[in-house]
């Protein structure tokens, strides 16, 4: 089955000269495979005529068309398609009663679409655009399956679903009032006050929702979902904007729903692999072509499913969906870094503003070294990076920067600048490496930016904008690189691609980097040493000197009261279950972070 997709957000026929139509072989031979229909403004590709030659994606300067073939074994399992030349979803995740099912896959692969169908917000059309979709047809399509039983109960209102949406930033547009008003109003399980403490909402309890930060909105959205009395809970990317401590608390709370009542079911979409592994009992993998089509695997045990996803191969379906495995091992040797020359030293500093004080202990960073920065939100991590970048000035002490030391800085919050394409923006920020073959193979190609070079920044998704920002920083020749949350909005694959690019750039140039990041697998891969920030969020932060990964992670995880082991098959860090034998043994040894590779 051939699928022809046109990303109409990227299609600009008034600016391109319609090269796709001019060079389409069937059109030149008299058959119309691609045209702009009468009365329409943008082209349509007719899949029954398209030969799959791949010329139109190649000729389109905006890379709007995608021509792909779907796996033969799923062609009869088309669940939903968003119109002609729109995204196609094959299969749905099975709803496993009394457990937590994690959904893992790239952005634009159909995870959120699946949640909308399972919550009843979207009726699947099975690729038929001529007939209005109906639940009667859905029940007939899934006759004799577990999904028929599920949808029958949903249609008959015998089960209730609660859906925590992906984009929490939109909440203030539809909900008004204070945090207390909203949570107590929807509280059906009598847990509002408990959630207030467990989710850390005390300081914002009386604050208006319009004045909440992204992390505060996320915690409120999770608390609202948990406070409802439902049979099926759907959580779409619940860790976004949260720090590691908040993610662990969130994971425990979500799983407690099924621990308290085995008649409840939970589905979680999550890109932080540590949290997905920690909260899930089962895993469904999503594979395909982002933006074109997605296929849902059958459910697997969490360890088996995550490891299969990292390998890119599903044995039971004999399906290889990725050319290469995702490798979580570092490429540098710690001993080499410890013997390297010191690139930059900084003094003890203090920064005070708006009732918050940050105390920084002195430290240094070596050539070729990446130092990961860990700590809760509101503890001063971003402030520290801004001090090194020269964006902020210390209240006491100073940053003894040499005039010859060049610094490149990627901030936490990104804003698409008006009037720039990806190419012109990269050139504007001083990306002198843009034409380098090494930069293309290390950054542009793995990031998928070559096909976006002529796209306006305003047309990019959050993940695409993040990759552009990281690429722009790495494209600047510098001695010291500063990255504030470079994995935000990225899928697992993209996170590891970004981490790999940062490490390779630092090693090749013998430069150095500080990386603020909440994803522990990202930090485990990218960092050679750590800085741990402790104190009282929003009041006082203390930045430790850089420490070894073992010492710093042990200190950080001990505060979180969690232990990590390393999966013997893939090398990925895994959180030990609370009160498990492995957790007890590691706590007795004082080994909260398992460093053997």
Q: What is the pTM of this model?
A: 0.89
How much is the pLDDT for 597?
Answer: 44
Mean pLDDT value across residues 196-211: 95
In this prediction, residues 105-118 reach a mean pLDDT of 95
Q: Which residues, in sequence order, are CB contacts of 463 under 8 Å at separation 6+?
A: 107, 489, 490, 491, 494
Residue 336: predicted pLDDT: 63
Mean pLDDT, residues 261-273: 95
Instruction: Look at residue 262 and tell me whether its pLDDT is greater than 60.
Output: yes
Could you tell me if 280 and 104 are in contact, meaning their C-beta atoms sit under 8 angstroms apart? no
Helix, strand, coil distribution of the chain in percent, nearest 5: 40, 20, 40
What confidence category does residue 338 fall into, taking pLDDT thresholds of 50, 70 and 90? confident
312-349 as b/e: b if 16+ CB within 10 A: bebeebebebeeeebebebeeeeeebeeeeebbebeeb
Distance (Å, rounded) from C-alpha 358 to C-alpha 26? 66
Q: How far apart are CA 444 and CA 432, in angstroms?
A: 13
Choose among 304, 302, 303: nearest CA to 316.
Answer: 304
Q: Determine the pLDDT at residue 326.
A: 85
pLDDT, position 570: 85
Would the pLDDT of 595 be above 80?
no
Measured distance CA(242)–CA(250) in Å, rounded: 9
Which stretch of DSSP H or E encloses residue 306? helix 302-311
Q: How far apart are CA 358 and CA 317, in angstroms?
A: 53
Cα→Cα distances 138→134, 148, 161, 421, Å = 7, 8, 18, 43
- Note the pLDDT tens digit of each residue in 167-202: 898 999 999 999 999 999 999 999 999 999 999 999
User: Taking residues 41-63, what's their average pLDDT?
Assistant: 90
Helices (H), 396-459: 422-428, 437-439, 445-447
Is pLDDT of 293 > 70?
A: yes
- Check whether 152 has a pLDDT greater than 50: yes
% of the chain residues with pLDDT over 70: 98
The answer to whether residue 328 scores a pLDDT higher than 90 is no
Structure-token match 């976004």, residue found: 240
Given a cut of 80, whether residue 330 has pLDDT beyond it is no
For the chain, state the CA radius of gyration. Answer: 25
Residue 396: per-residue pLDDT: 95
What is the overall mean pLDDT for the chain? 92
Q: What is the pLDDT of residue 440?
A: 92
pLDDT at 329: 66
Mean pLDDT of 487-502: 94
Domains and CATH numbers, the chain: 2-69 (3.30.70.20), 73-160+230-312 (3.40.50.300), 334-548 (3.40.50.300), 561-597 (no CATH)
Cα 90-96-101 angle, rounded to 5 deg: 75
For residue 62, give the 3-state DSSP assignment.
coil
The tokens of 138 are what?
């859905």
pLDDT score of 480: 97
Report how far residue 209's alpha carbon sits from residue 217's, in angstroms, rounded to the nearest whole number: 8
Within the chain, what is the greatest distance between any pair of CA atoms? 77
Give dist(CA 388, CA 400) in Å, integer. 9
Q: How confident is the model at residue 547 (pLDDT cuts 50, 70, 90)?
A: very high
b/e map 551-569, b = 16+ CB within 10 Å:
bbbbbbbebbebbbbbeee
Q: What is the pLDDT of residues 393-414, one digit of tens each?
A: 999 998 887 778 999 999 998 9
Query: What six digits make up the tokens of 160?
Result: 């209730």
């Amino acid at each position: 089955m051939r699928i022809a997709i046109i990303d109409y957000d990227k299609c600009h026929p008034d600016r391109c000269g319609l090269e796709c139509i001019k060079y389409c072989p069937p059109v030149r031979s008299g058959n119309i495979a691609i045209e702009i229909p009468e009365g329409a403004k943008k082209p349509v590709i007719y899949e029954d005529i398209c030969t799959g030659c791949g010329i139109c994606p190649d000729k389109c300067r905006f890379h709007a068309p995608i021509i792909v073939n779907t796996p033969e074994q799923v062609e009869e399992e088309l669940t939903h398609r968003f119109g002609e030349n729109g995204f196609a979803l094959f299969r749905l995740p099975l709803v496993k009663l009394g457990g937590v099912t994690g959904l893992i896959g790239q952005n634009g692969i159909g995870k959120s679409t699946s949640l909308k169908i399972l919550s009843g917000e979207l009726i699947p059309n099975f690729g038929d655009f001529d007939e209005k979709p109906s639940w009667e047809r859905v029940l007939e399509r899934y006759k004799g399956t577990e999904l028929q039983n599920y949808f029958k109960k949903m249609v008959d209102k015998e089960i209730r679903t609660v859906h925590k949406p992906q984009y929490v930033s939109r909440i203030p547009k539809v909900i008004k009032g204070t945090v207390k008003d909203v949570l107590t109003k929807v509280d059906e399980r009598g847990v509002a006050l408990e959630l207030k403490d467990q989710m850390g909402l005390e300081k914002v309890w009386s604050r208006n929702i319009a004045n909440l930060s992204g992390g505060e909105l996320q915690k409120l959205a999770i608390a609202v979902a948990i406070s409802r009395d439902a049979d099926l809970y759907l959580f779409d990317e619940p860790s976004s904007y949260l720090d590691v401590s908040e993610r662990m608390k969130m994971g425990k709370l979500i799983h407690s729903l099924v621990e308290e009542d085995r008649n409840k079911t939970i589905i979680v979409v999550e890109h932080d692999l540590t949290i997905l592994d920690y909260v899930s009992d089962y895993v469904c993998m999503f594979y395909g072509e982002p933006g074109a089509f997605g296929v849902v695997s059958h459910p697997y045990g969490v360890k088996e499913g995550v490891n299969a996803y990292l390998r890119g191969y599903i044995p039971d379906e004999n399906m290889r969906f990725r050319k290469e495995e995702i490798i979580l091992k570092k490429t540098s040797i710690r001993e080499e870094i410890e013997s390297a020359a010191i690139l930059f030293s900084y003094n003890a500093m203090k920064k005070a503003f708006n009732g918050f004080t940050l105390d920084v202990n002195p430290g240094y960073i070596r050539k070729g070294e990446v130092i990961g920065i860990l700590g809760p939100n509101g503890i001063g991590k971003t402030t520290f990076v801004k001090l090194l970048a020269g964006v902020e000035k210390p209240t006491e002490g100073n940053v003894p920067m040499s005039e010859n030391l060049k610094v490149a800085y990627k901030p936490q919050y990104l804003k698409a600048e008006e009037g720039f394409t990806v190419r012109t923006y990269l050139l504007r920020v001083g990306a002198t490496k843009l034409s380098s073959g090494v930069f293309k193979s290390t950054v542009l190609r793995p990031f998928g930016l070559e096909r976006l070079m002529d796209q306006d920044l305003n047309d990019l998704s959050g993940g695409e904008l993040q990759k552009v920002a990281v690429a722009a920083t790495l494209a600047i020749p510098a001695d010291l690189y500063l990255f504030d949350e470079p994995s935000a909005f990225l899928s697992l694959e993209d996170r590891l691609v970004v981490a790999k690019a940062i490490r390779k750039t630092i090693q090749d140039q013998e430069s150095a980097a500080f990386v603020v990041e909440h994803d522990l697998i990202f930090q485990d891969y990218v960092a050679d040493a750590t800085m741990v920030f402790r104190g009282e969020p929003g009041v006082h932060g203390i930045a430790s000197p850089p420490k070894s990964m073992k010492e710093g992670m042990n200190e950080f995880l001990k505060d979180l009261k969690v232990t990590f082991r390393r999966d013997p098959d893939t090398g990925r860090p895994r959180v030990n279950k609370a009160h498990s034998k492995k957790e007890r043994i590691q706590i007795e040894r004082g080994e909260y972070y398992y460093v053997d590779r």
